C-alpha cells in the first residue's frame, strides 16, 4: 500500500511540474506579437499563418487565417438568430472555416444561451449565425474564435 501511495505521489508531482512547463513559453519562440497567441492567459506559439483580433459591433475586420473577435453586447431575443459578420480578406466562398464560442460574458440561462448554428464563408467575409436557445434575451459579449482550415 505504501508503494502504491508513493507511486501516486510521484506521479502527482511529475504532472504538476509538467503543468508548470506548459503554461510558460520560451521567449525565443515569440519574436513578435504575431508569433504567439494568448488564450486565457496561456501563451502558445502561433502555428503558420496570421492571427488577428478585433472587437465591437458587426461587421468587424480581422484579416488573418486565425482570429479572435469579441462582439458588442448582444441583446438577441429568445429563440432568435443574430448574424455577426467578420470581414477577412483571407476568406472566399469556398473556404473551410471553423468557428467556436470561446466565452460568453453573460450568465448562461439568466442571460440566454448563445449557440453557434453556422459559420458561413463568403467573398471576404465570415458570417457567424448565433442563435439564442434560451428563454431570456442575450445580455453579454461573445468571444468568437475562427480558423481557416
Identify the pLDDT of residue 21: 38
Q: Taking the complete model, does pTM exceed 0.75, yes or no?
A: no
130: which 3 cell numbers?
448565433
Q: Is the pLDDT of residue 37 over 60?
A: no
Buried b (16+ CB within 10 A) or exposed e, 12-41: eeeeeeeeeeeeebeeeebeeeeebbeeee
Q: Is the pLDDT of residue 132 over 90?
A: yes
Comparing 7-16, 83-92, 107-116, which segment has the lowest mean pLDDT?
7-16
Domains and CATH numbers, the chain: 48-148 (2.40.30)
Amino acid at each position: 500500500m505504501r508503494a502504491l501511495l508513493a507511486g501516486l505521489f510521484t506521479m502527482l508531482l511529475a504532472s504538476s511540474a509538467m503543468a508548470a512547463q506548459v503554461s510558460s513559453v520560451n521567449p525565443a519562440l515569440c519574436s513578435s506579437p504575431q508569433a504567439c497567441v494568448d488564450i486565457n492567459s496561456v501563451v502558445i506559439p502561433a502555428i503558420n499563418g496570421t492571427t488577428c483580433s478585433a472587437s465591437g459591433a458587426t461587421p468587424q475586420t480581422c484579416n488573418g487565417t486565425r482570429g479572435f473577435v469579441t462582439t458588442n453586447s448582444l441583446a438577441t431575443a429568445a429563440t432568435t438568430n443574430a448574424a455577426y459578420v467578420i470581414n477577412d480578406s483571407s476568406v472566399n466562398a469556398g473556404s473551410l472555416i471553423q468557428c467556436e464560442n470561446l466565452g460568453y460574458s453573460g450568465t448562461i440561462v439568466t442571460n440566454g444561451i448563445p449557440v453557434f448554428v453556422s459559420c458561413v464563408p463568403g467573398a471576404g467575409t465570415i458570417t457567424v449565425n448565433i442563435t439564442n436557445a434560451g428563454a431570456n434575451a442575450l445580455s453579454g459579449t461573445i468571444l468568437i474564435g475562427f480558423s481557416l482550415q
